[in-house]
Amino acid sequence: MRILTPVVALVAFIGVSTSPAHAATWSTDQQWGQWNNGGYTLYNNIWGGGAGYQSMWANSYSNWGVWANHPNTGGIKSYPNAKRVVNRNLNQISALTSSFNVTVPSAGAYNTAYDIWDTDYDHEIMLWMNWHGAVGPLGSYQTRVSVGGHTWDVYRGSNGHNNVYSFLRTGDTSAGTVDILPILRWIAGRGWISSSEPIGDVQFGYEITSSAGGLDFRTNQFSVNYQ
């Protein structure tokens, strides 16, 4: 997934909404709508071509959701997410963990995933926790590995802008804890990134390809902790 940085701030996204109402502290249907809360940034992030309508609501960085009505066509339309910025070299991090709990639909095409970047956005590490419909990782299959408290099928490729390392959990889950640091060290041990790679963002959200008719994605709990 490629995050596009907007040239202008908060461009309004135009669409027809039948979104259900949410009594929330914050909400937006802007294409690049953002909210800072508790050291995290929530980002509506409708970045793909052919997107429909999408709104995002939040009570906090740990309790938020998305209503999306994207057409049943190919290509990723959006990645609404919450992120925490780490900005430390990998070899200077002594702990990096995250927990999550989500409620996701049984229709559409999407994945629920972490998106972890270096500070230069040259390397992207995706941790797929669950997925549905016609979606799949970028690149070629590498191996199966048990690391960070889960077992993953690992893929490696490039989207033309950055390297992408995708870890697909064997047996998807809607809740759990991920020990991210051993995963990053495993990648460095393969020589794919430097052992001193500066780690930037840890993002978590929903990479949505289609959600025709409107679907709800709810984050019931989310946090990132590091030392």
DSSP string, 90-151: GGG-S-EEEEEEEE--SSSEEEEEEEEEETTS-EEEEEEEEEESS---SSEEEEEEEETTEE
Parent domain of 195:
26-226
CATH of the domain at 74: 2.60.120.180
* Number of domains forming the structure of the chain: 1
Least reliable range by pLDDT among 9-13, 157-161, 203-207, 215-219: 9-13
Residue 99 lies in a domain: yes
Res 22: pLDDT: 59
Q: Residue 211 and residue 154: Cα distance in Å, rounded?
A: 26
Residue 100 lies in a domain: yes
Residue 179 lies in a domain: yes
Residue 7 lies in a domain: no
Res 87: pLDDT: 97
Q: How many CB atoms lie within 10 A of CB 16?
A: 8
Segment 197-212, tens digit of pLDDT: 999 999 999 999 999 9
- Residue showing tokens 């060290």: 185
Residue 181 has pLDDT above 80, yes or no: yes
Residue 6 lies in a domain: no
Q: Residue 211 and residue 8: Cα distance in Å, rounded?
A: 27
Q: Residue 184 and residue 179: Cα distance in Å, rounded?
A: 10
- DSSP 3-state assignment of 208? strand
Alpha carbon 125 to chain centroid, angstroms: 10
Residue 1 lies in a domain: no
Strand duo 215-226 + 63-69: pairing: antiparallel
Q: Residue 11 and residue 13: Cα distance in Å, rounded?
A: 6
Inter-residue contact 29 to 19 (CB < 8 Å): yes
Residue 45 lies in a domain: yes
Q: How much is the average pLDDT of 20-27?
A: 78
Q: Residue 177 and residue 119: Cα distance in Å, rounded?
A: 24
Half-sphere exposure of 5 (CA within 13 A, CB side): 1
Average pLDDT, the chain: 92
- Tell me the residue type at 96: L
Residue 2 lies in a domain: no
